[in-house]
Structure 1
Amino acid sequence: MIDRRLETLRVLRERGTVTATAEALHLTPSTVSQQLRQLARDLGVELLEARGRGVRLTAAAHTVLRHADALSAQWERARADLAAHRSGSAGRVRICSVSSALAALVAPAAARLRAEHPGLDVRMCEKESEEAAHLLLSRRYDIAVAIPSEGVPAPGDARFDVRTLLDEPQDLLVPAGHPLAARGTARLDEAAAEPWIGSPERADQHRLMLASCAAAGFAPRIVHEAYEWFAVSALVAHGFGVGLVPRLAPLPPGDEVVRVPLRGETVPRRRIVACVRRGGDAQPPIARGLAALRAAARG
């Protein structure tokens, strides 16, 4: 019902380049350029201007986008009203999520939906937080479970609704036999002298570790780096250092490492949010998906 060229313009605002927009929409760059030229001609205004080897949105384009955002939200509400004429027990909800939340929240939520609404088709996919906004805007997914960072919709963004699912504490990961392993809990500064395993490729996680250690009064001495949690766990298990792991992060089975819950004023936490297109939460499949995610988070 809404001109698809407006959706193309909205994705271009998010992605920044014609090539990235084409990739997000599964189109060719020439198709994207043609759509935007046609839209500009029909509206009688210039939407793009050259900027080096790329393009920049004009002031007129930003005016068009304000109306396009309002139209999109209204269309989501219209679809919700139309869905109310059906039973609401069937349909599809597509959820993308960061890996740890996919395992600990999304999978249990999908299992609940399968049991309570067998006619509801739930599709899940692991995606990084930075992809959340454009995956929603390109309508490839209906719900994005993410960690707030660059690329994740901010709470005040008029295009999205953002709901907090939980504030997940971080645990100190130490090898079995470490003096802190038998303590039950520990303060973060008690690990100040330890060698640390860093995860700079997980930008949000790495920044959280550095900020939390700074708040505890020390800078971690990072001697090794790993990305996947099983790799961090292996390095810790072999005595190469300690690390921080999210409470939801799955670790390999066995007793080579010990999670030590942290206490005190500097317990690091990361927020996990669910993002949807504004107005989309009124559609029964999406609403049920959000409710199931909230129930999983409470558990």
Structure 2
Amino acid sequence: MIDLRRLHVLRAVAHYGTVTAAANALHFTPSAASQQIRQLARDLGVDLLEPQGRGVRLTPAAQSLLAHADAIQARWEQAELDLRADHGAPSGLLRACGFPVAVSVLLAPVAARLRTRHPRLSVRIQEAGVPESFDLLFEGEIDLAVVEATPHNPPLGDVRFDQQPLLDDPFDLVVPEDHPLAARERVDLAEAAHEDWIAPVPESPCRPHVLSACGAAGFTPDVVHHALDWNVTAHLVAHRLGVALIPRLAQLTPHLPVTRVCCTGNPHRKLLTCTRGGGAQRPAVAAALRELRELAPTTVV
């Protein structure tokens, strides 16, 4: 009989990439995590880890086992749902997370709607970046996340997560209000090729979108300033330090002397909802997903 707790340690090593990182996430010591995997290997009669440089990697047998382990986790989610189903109104605790714009524009109003429509349901929201959101889902710390689609996300076919499209968030060119392009209804980004640019910091999931949009317009932007927060970016634009691409969902400080201009080609980022595999059918999660899908089309104008 496989010990599911040991199997979860193996899943964590695959998710986080090292035994040490997995142990930290699970609040184990590295030696305790390694011992769990060694015992699982003895139970199964196969090697699950093999040396690689100064570390270890999963063996082909471990990779094969993981495919079954992820399916078992999804079935367990469904089993819990079946056991607790009472066909009543959503109730209990719903834990959600998202990056700052998602929390402000989507999750906060959805939580308010759920509180009104389902008084027995309690919602807890946590701000989290995209990689952290997947970690929190994997660890069972949250039930629902709103994330950006990035090249570093788990593939859509990863059965550990159920990722579904929510909305496309267009990027606008943001310029000082007296800039020659400010009077335009729509602009080709190539017309801003010779401007100084303000771009997201290198670790931001939006940076590749900005650089790709400029690349599609035929140029590499001359990035002279970097910012993490969209309002910081807008203040830099307001002081005529450059132009920027800013998602339409980002709510900027009112009365800044800047203008948003629509871009030809519709550069945008995709927002997704994400739950654990099998978790989207939980009444509380399903209610939140319905509210998100109802609200999302009204947020981008």
Whether TM exceeds 0.5 here: the answer is yes
Question: Paired residue for 1:122?
Answer: 123
Distance in 2, matches of 1:285 and 1:6, equals 28
Distance in 2, matches of 1:125 and 1:151, equals 21
Distance in 1, matches of 2:194 and 2:221, equals 8
| 1:83 is the counterpart of 2:84 | yes
Cα-to-partner distance string for 1:1-47 (whole Å, 9 max, x where unaligned): 97122122111101111121122223332332222222222222221
| 1:19 is the counterpart of 2:8 | no
Cα-to-partner distance string for 1:92-141 (whole Å, 9 max, x where unaligned): 22112111111111111111111111211211111111233322111111
Corresponding letter in the other structure for 2:269 = R
Distance in 2, matches of 1:105 and 1:280, equals 20
Distance in 1, matches of 2:152 and 2:26, equals 17
Which moved further from structure 2: 253-262 or 282-291? Answer: 253-262
Contact 1:109–1:295 (8 Å) recurs in 2: no
CA RMSD of aligned residues (A): 1.9
Show the 5 A alignment for 1:133-148. Answer: 133-148=134-149
Distance in 2, matches of 1:3 and 1:174, equals 55
Distance in 1, matches of 2:285 and 2:296, equals 16
Distance in 2, matches of 1:277 and 1:211, equals 30
Cα-to-partner distance string for 1:182-235 (whole Å, 9 max, x where unaligned): 333322222222211122324432221121112122222222222211221111
| 1:39 is the counterpart of 2:40 | yes
Question: Paired residue for 1:274?
Answer: 273
Distance in 1, matches of 2:296 and 2:287, equals 14
Q: State the 1:255 CA deviation.
A: 2.9
Cα-to-partner distance string for 1:122-179 (whole Å, 9 max, x where unaligned): 1111111123332211111111211122442322222221110001100111112222
| 1:288 is the counterpart of 2:275 | no
Distance in 1, matches of 2:93 and 2:140, equals 13
Instruction: Name stretches of at least 5 consecutive residues in structure 1 with no aligned partner.
Output: none
Distance in 2, matches of 1:291 and 1:111, equals 14
Contact 2:41–2:47 (8 Å) recurs in 1: yes
- CA gap 1:206/1:89 in 2 versus in 1, 3 angstroms: closer
Question: Paired residue for 1:60?
Answer: 61
Distance in 1, matches of 2:3 and 2:36, equals 14
Q: State the 1:75 CA deviation.
A: 0.9
Q: State the 1:86 CA deviation.
A: 5.7
Show the 5 A alignment for 1:188-199. Answer: 188-199=189-200
Contact 2:235–2:256 (8 Å) recurs in 1: no
Show the 5 A alignment for 1:1-299. Answer: 3-85=4-86, 87-262=88-263, 264=264, 266-299=265-298
Cα-to-partner distance string for 1:234-257 (whole Å, 9 max, x where unaligned): 110100110000111121222322
Distance in 2, matches of 1:48 and 1:197, equals 45
Corresponding letter in the other structure for 1:284 = P
Contact 2:11–2:66 (8 Å) recurs in 1: yes
Which moved further from structure 2: 101-110 or 196-205? Answer: 196-205
Q: Matched residue pairs, number?
A: 297
Distance in 2, matches of 1:58 and 1:296, equals 45
SS at match of 2:183: coil
Distance in 1, matches of 2:277 and 2:3, equals 16
Corresponding letter in the other structure for 2:216 = A
Give the TM-score, by structure 2 length. 0.92
- CA gap 1:22/1:228 in 2 versus in 1, 3 angstroms: same
Paired-residue identity, %: 48
Distance in 2, matches of 1:3 and 1:257, equals 56
Corresponding letter in the other structure for 1:66 = A
Which moved further from structure 2: 91-100 or 183-192? Answer: 183-192
Distance in 2, matches of 1:183 and 1:51, equals 57
Contact 1:130–1:150 (8 Å) recurs in 2: no
Distance in 2, matches of 1:291 and 1:2, equals 36
